[in-house]
């Protein structure tokens, strides 16, 4: 309780900048926060034992969420690398109906597959990434092959140039999000990964959204100095379906606000393996990531990533084996990084993209409100997408 009071006091003493709203003030506070100090005393940790017993930071806001256990068989959960839904813990927040937080429901070792897919497979063409803006298709054809030796031996050469994987900031899947028009379109599409679609369908069904279709994904690749600006995910044409978020690697602070940015957000930790679901009222709320937290022992992996993926997998599993060599590359990358997968359904059942351009939303909605990553050393203005810094 003392740490939380100290954190509230620290926020209160932070001077408000001219024109700064409540969300931006908290974003700035956590961006400047120091791990291991009272600065983080007010951040909710759903994975801690206190959350389950109604104690700890923000406990008065935390409620249990009911899952649809019968909607996902234990067999299908295991196929996706998940524990039986009956063993999951799920939480919500008072004042945020439709928000569901599931602390790491993955089976031991199975996160390895999803990390490897983000770095080795999903980053490949024909998927789209931030590097495409400044490099040819040939130069970005296989980021993994061009980067793996750099990452495998990075500790032996601290002065080496960064690999292409380390310069990767985002990848889009399925219906590719257009960062300029802020829209999806029928003619900018590549097949959505079947394994990620299956994982997403199981999580959505467990949260009460049977029939969810994974149609678009945005993968964000964070370095320790990266942030995700305040934004709302409103470009999908069907907002009745949830937004799913999967986190891997180093922990981060997530801020969930209100419909307007003058509402102060709630801060929570996102650890490796954690899943968030934003649906209903919470589907169109402002949110952001102001800070990625370094490992407590410096460049180290979260404990849940130390367990290897089992050598023998279920015959019909969507999860594939991960070699020792491949995991060495992934582990080296994640020692100072975090990867986040967000999956969404773009169209309602039997809905098509409009022939005419959709009229732009009339509400005050600045360029900063769109999903992009910033690094502290970036010189790119917030109105533009940070592509390589």
Q: Looking at mean pLDDT, say which of 293-307, 337-351, 369-383 comes out highest.
A: 337-351
User: Please, what is the average pLDDT of the chain?
Assistant: 86
Mean pLDDT of 224-235: 93
366 occurs within a structural domain = no
Number of domains, the chain: 1
In three state form, how does the secondary structure of 108-153 look? CCCHHHHHHHHHHHCCCCCCEEHHHHCCCCCCCCCHHHHHHHHHHC
Give the DSSP letter string of 200-217: HHHHHHHTT-TT----EE
Asked if the structure places residue 375 within a domain, the reply is no
Q: Which helix (H) or strand (E) holds 152?
A: helix 143-152
Position 376 scores a pLDDT of 57
Task: Write out the binding residues for Fe cation.
Answer: 231, 233, 287
Residue 8 lies in a domain: no
What distance in Å separates the CA atoms of residue 88 and residue 10, rounded to the nearest whole number?
35
* Residue 319 CA to its chain's centroid (Å): 20
pTM: 0.87
Q: Is residue 63 part of a domain?
A: yes
Residue 4 located in a structural domain: no
Q: Cα separation of 328 and 12, whole Å?
A: 44
Percent share of the chain, pLDDT over 70 = 82
Q: Please report the pLDDT score of residue 303 as a whole number.
A: 94
**Residues of each annotated binding site:** 231, 233, 287
Asked if residue 363 belongs to a domain, the reply is no
In-domain check, residue 373: no
Q: Is the pLDDT of residue 212 over 50?
A: yes
Cα Rg, the chain, nearest whole Å: 20
Least confident of 146-150, 287-291, 373-377: 373-377
Q: Between vectors from CA 219 to CA 216 and to CA 223, what angle results, nearest 5°?
A: 165
CATH number, position 112: 2.60.120.590
331 lies in which domain range?
Answer: 20-344
pLDDT value of residue 364: 33
pLDDT at 386: 36
> Residue 130 domain-assigned?
yes
pLDDT in tens, 12-60: 556 666 668 999 999 999 999 988 777 899 999 999 855 656 666 677 8
């Amino acid at each position: 309780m003392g740490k939380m009071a100290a954190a509230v006091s620290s926020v209160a003493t932070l001077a408000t900048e001219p024109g700064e709203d409540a969300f931006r003030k908290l974003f700035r506070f956590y961006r400047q926060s120091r791990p291991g100090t009272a600065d983080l005393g007010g951040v909710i940790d759903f994975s801690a034992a206190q959350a389950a017993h109604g104690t700890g930071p923000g406990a008065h806001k935390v409620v249990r969420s009911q899952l649809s256990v019968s909607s996902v068989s234990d067999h299908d959960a295991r196929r996706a690398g998940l524990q039986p839904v009956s063993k999951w813990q799920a939480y919500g927040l008072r004042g945020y109906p439709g928000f569901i937080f599931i602390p790491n429901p993955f089976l031991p070792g199975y996160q390895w597959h999803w990390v490897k897919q983000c770095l080795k497979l999903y980053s490949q063409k024909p998927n789209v990434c931030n590097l495409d803006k400044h490099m040819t298709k040939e130069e970005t054809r296989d980021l993994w092959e061009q980067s793996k030796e750099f990452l495998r031996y990075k500790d032996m050469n601290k002065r080496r140039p960064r690999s292409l994987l380390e310069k990767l900031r985002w990848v889009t899947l399925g219906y590719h999000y257009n960062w300029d028009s802020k829209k999806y379109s029928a003619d900018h599409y590549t097949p959505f990964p079947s394994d990620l679609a299956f994982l997403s369908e199981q999580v959505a069904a467990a949260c009460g959204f049977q029939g969810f279709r994974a149609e678009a994904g945005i993968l964000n690749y964070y370095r320790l100095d990266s942030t995700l600006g305040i934004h709302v995910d409103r470009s999908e044409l069907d907002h009745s379906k949830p937004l799913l978020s999967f986190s891997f690697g180093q922990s981060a602070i997530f801020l969930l606000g209100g419909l307007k940015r003058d509402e102060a957000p709630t801060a929570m930790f996102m650890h490796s393996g954690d899943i968030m679901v934003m649906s209903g009222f919470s589907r169109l709320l402002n949110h952001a990531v102001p800070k990625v937290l370094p490992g407590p022992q410096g460049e180290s992996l979260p404990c849940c990533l130390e367990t290897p993926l089992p050598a023998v997998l279920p015959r019909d599993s969507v999860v594939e084996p991960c070699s020792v060599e491949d995991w060495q590359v992934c582990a080296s990358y994640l020692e100072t990084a975090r990867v986040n997968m967000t999956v969404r359904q773009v169209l309602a059942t039997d809905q098509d993209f409009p022939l005419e351009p959709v009229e732009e939303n009339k509400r005050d909605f600045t360029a900063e409100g769109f999903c992009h990553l910033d690094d502290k050393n970036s010189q790119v203005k917030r109105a533009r997408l940070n592509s390589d810094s």
